[in-house]
Chain A
Amino acid sequence: MAFLEINNVSKKFGATEAVSDFNLHVEKGELVSFLGPSGCGKTTTLRMVAGFESPTSGRIVMNGEDITEMPPNQRDVGMVFQSYALFPNMTVADNIGFGLKVMKKSPDEIKQRVKEMLDLINMPEYTHRYPYQLSGGQQQRVALARALALRPDVLLLDEPLSALDAKIRVSLRAEIRSIQQKLGITAIYVTHDQEEALSLSDRVVVMNKGQMEQVGTPFEIYNFPTTTFVANFVGTLNAAEAEVLDPAKGLISVDGVQFISADDDLKTKRKGDKVRMSIRPERFSFASEGKKANVVDCAIENITFLGSVVRIQVRIGETNFNMDTFNNPFLELPKIGDRTQVTCSQNAVLILEE
């Protein structure tokens, strides 16, 4: 039995179904991210686990106990809010110790635990500061410490970094992951930032329109997206309509240009079927002498310098594809309008479900 089970959970707001038949089992100590665009139901699902929303149907079981109808203040769940939600009238120490005070712990115990938490977030000297005296990043670290002070079974993080600037986001997400692993706490992390989800999760749940699109490790989600939505939402995607020429050999055609795909899904198709194929930009490379499979003619349409990466737009047949190559100052890039050949491996050509 998993530590946290979300079984067939649905949530309706009037006629709108925000979450539809959501199923997820989270193991103890695992960090799972809910990734998706605004309005996809990820926060609603998180709020149902926290107890702030009641599922219309389905059950939520934590550590073997059904908590579906349990009030939020009786669940052993800590939550970090997007807007920090620190109590502005309390100092850092009072914020962190609030839950312990509610639980009527002794002042000495509260003081000791607050100190531990402040050490954990590397802010021991901020005890007596008020929230307005802290930066956004510091406030969120205090919010994390407050949520962890009660030693909850599950930690919920609702887009905790979205209000912070890019540099702080990167450093704080590493800190969150490090603390989560150090404490071995089970965590659910809601985000719409794919980089964030991929970088700190054990597993990622990609959501769309209230439904789970795909669940998998960051590696699986990025490299083997199973639906067009996941492929589009996670990373940059080249997608095109293709016609199946020979399912057994994995042969497909895009505007008359042939590709070979190693995707097993193709074997279920028949000759003449229309499918949607995709190739990640970084899976393309310029064809060198001797490479035979998936070597295709193309024209250079555009070149964009992105720092560590150079994005080259190539036209294959009538379709434009993006190709990413690492920036190398000594690499001679083609010019716009040049004709050349690009290639990709057979397992880079994926067949997507609609």
Chain B
Amino acid sequence: MNWSWVGVAPFFAFAIVFLFLPSLSIFYRSFQANDGTFTFDNIIALFTTRDIINAYKTSLQISLITAAGGAMFGFLLAYAVVLGGLPRGIRTFMTTFSGVASNFAGVPLAFAFIATMGNAGLVTRWIESIFNISTREMGFSIYNMWGLSIVYMYFQFPLMVLIIAPALDGLRREWREACENLGGTSYHYWRYVAIPILLPSLLGTMILLFGNSFGAYATAYAFSGSFINLVTVLIGAQIQGDVLYNPGLGNALALGMIVIMALSMTGYIWMQKRVARWIQ
């Protein structure tokens, strides 16, 4: 008898207990009213309640913005570090910093931004005292969707650097030289060789950044409380709230998130198949 499956058994057990069963529970409870009876009300509420629709809209907007922005700027940063001919020490520093920064989220991150760019933040006060400009009177505030996007960028950026740097390392010098040897310029190299080769990695990283942002709760809640209407904040209110307590709706909201992530993953797999036909 082949016992090699024993090696992967803990992984499957872990996935079943902490992923599959909770997902099943969310699905089941989405159709439960507060008194435990079966209902479609929670699911119907997802499509009919304005606050919920807006929450999904804002969450998706922030996730798309920070995934695209994080991917773009993180890619450029990784490019500069890996292929920019910078001293080796800078790369080591950047990698270490990215490792730390990509995990710097939640309450400490929110506080860091409030303390620097909030209404009474260090930078805000500094601008006021040096330039005699009131950013608040000029309409600048970080307590909105764009502000939260900037906060999210703080961990999205370095996560992109960490993930895409090995892919950039995988670009072989000979490909660029072969391209040049065949009359190509930098444009030809990136357009026809490097970007297509990196595209599967870029898409994979973007979906990860999207999920990372879409599921973030602690940072958003600590940063703005319920001021910015996000799905995760709304779920928290339904499960923990005294006033809005409705676990069935909370589960339905979570189910909606699972469906969106599943659709994103399906789209990713479809695109991956299209752009990576050349991968063995």
Chain A residues within 8 Å of B188, by CB: 102
Given the known interface contacts A90-B278, A130-B277, A132-B280, the answer about A85 and B175 at a Cβ–Cβ threshold of 8 Å is: yes
A194 to chain B, nearest CB (A): 25
Given the known interface contacts A73-B184, A89-B196, A98-B182, the answer about A83 and B172 at a Cβ–Cβ threshold of 8 Å is: yes
Q: How large is the interface on B (under 10, 10 to 19, 20 to 34, 35 or more residues)?
A: 20 to 34
A206 at the interface (CB under 8 A from B): no
B35 at the interface (CB under 8 A from A): no
A136 to chain B, nearest CB (A): 15
Chain A residues within 8 Å of B181, by CB: 50, 72-73, 77-79, 147
B177 and A85 form a contact (CB under 8 A): yes
A326 at the interface (CB under 8 A from B): no
B183 and A103 form a contact (CB under 8 A): yes
Instruction: Annotate B252-280 by CB proximity to A: 1 below 8 A, 0 otherwise.
Output: 00000000000000000000000001111
A42 at the interface (CB under 8 A from B): no
B54 at the interface (CB under 8 A from A): no
A88 at the interface (CB under 8 A from B): yes
Given the known interface contacts A79-B177, A83-B172, A102-B188, the answer about A89 and B182 at a Cβ–Cβ threshold of 8 Å is: no
Given the known interface contacts A52-B177, A79-B177, the answer about A89 and B183 at a Cβ–Cβ threshold of 8 Å is: no
Instruction: Annotate A71-111 by CB proximity to B: 1 below 8 A, 0 otherwise.
Output: 11110011101010111111000000011011100000000
CA distance A72 to B177 in the complex (A): 8
CA distance A78 to B174 in the complex (A): 13
A150 at the interface (CB under 8 A from B): yes
A146 to chain B, nearest CB (A): 7
Chain B residues within 8 Å of A132, by CB: 278-280
B275 to chain A, nearest CB (A): 9
B178 and A73 form a contact (CB under 8 A): no
Given the known interface contacts A72-B177, A73-B185, A79-B178, the answer about A85 and B278 at a Cβ–Cβ threshold of 8 Å is: no
CA distance A95 to B185 in the complex (A): 16
CA distance A79 to B192 in the complex (A): 19
CA distance A90 to B178 in the complex (A): 13
B164 at the interface (CB under 8 A from A): no
B180 at the interface (CB under 8 A from A): yes
A325 to chain B, nearest CB (A): 45
Chain B residues within 8 Å of A101, by CB: 192
A87 and B183 form a contact (CB under 8 A): no
Residue of B nearest to A78 (CB): B181
B90 at the interface (CB under 8 A from A): no
Quick one: which of A79, A89, A146 contacts B278, CB cutoff 8 A? A89
Residue of B nearest to A74 (CB): B183
B193 at the interface (CB under 8 A from A): yes
Quick one: which of A77, A88, A98, A103 contacts B192, CB cutoff 8 A? A98
Scoring B178, B197, B279 by chain A CB atoms within 10 A of each residue's CB, the highest score goes to B178
Chain B residues within 8 Å of A74, by CB: 183
Quick one: which of A51, A79, A87, A99 contacts B193, CB cutoff 8 A? A87
Instruction: Annotate A98-137 by CB proximity to B: 1 below 8 A, 0 otherwise.
Output: 1101110000000000000000000000000011100000
Quick one: which of A85, A88, A89, A102 contacts B184, CB cutoff 8 A? A102
Given the known interface contacts A72-B177, A102-B188, A132-B278, the answer about A88 and B197 at a Cβ–Cβ threshold of 8 Å is: yes
Chain A residues within 8 Å of B175, by CB: 85, 87
Instruction: Annotate A134-150 by CB proximity to B: 1 below 8 A, 0 otherwise.
Output: 00000000000011001
CA distance A297 to B36 in the complex (A): 109
A81 and B177 form a contact (CB under 8 A): yes
Residue of B nearest to A77 (CB): B181
B185 and A85 form a contact (CB under 8 A): no
B183 and A150 form a contact (CB under 8 A): yes
A99 and B182 form a contact (CB under 8 A): yes
Instruction: Annotate A147-161 by CB proximity to B: 1 below 8 A, 0 otherwise.
Output: 100100000000000
B182 and A146 form a contact (CB under 8 A): yes
Given the known interface contacts A73-B184, A98-B182, A99-B182, the answer about A88 and B278 at a Cβ–Cβ threshold of 8 Å is: yes
Instruction: Annotate B15-45 by CB proximity to A: 1 below 8 A, 0 otherwise.
Output: 0000000000000000000000000000000
Chain B residues within 8 Å of A83, by CB: 172, 174
Chain A residues within 8 Å of B177, by CB: 50, 52, 72, 79, 81, 85
Closest 7 CB pairs of A and B: A99-B182, A85-B174, A85-B178, A132-B280, A72-B180, A89-B196, A79-B181
New contact pairs (15) apart from A85-B178, A146-B182, A150-B183, CB-CB < 8 Å = A50-B181, A73-B181, A73-B182, A79-B177, A79-B178, A81-B177, A87-B179, A88-B197, A90-B192, A90-B278, A98-B179, A99-B183, A103-B183, A130-B278, A147-B181
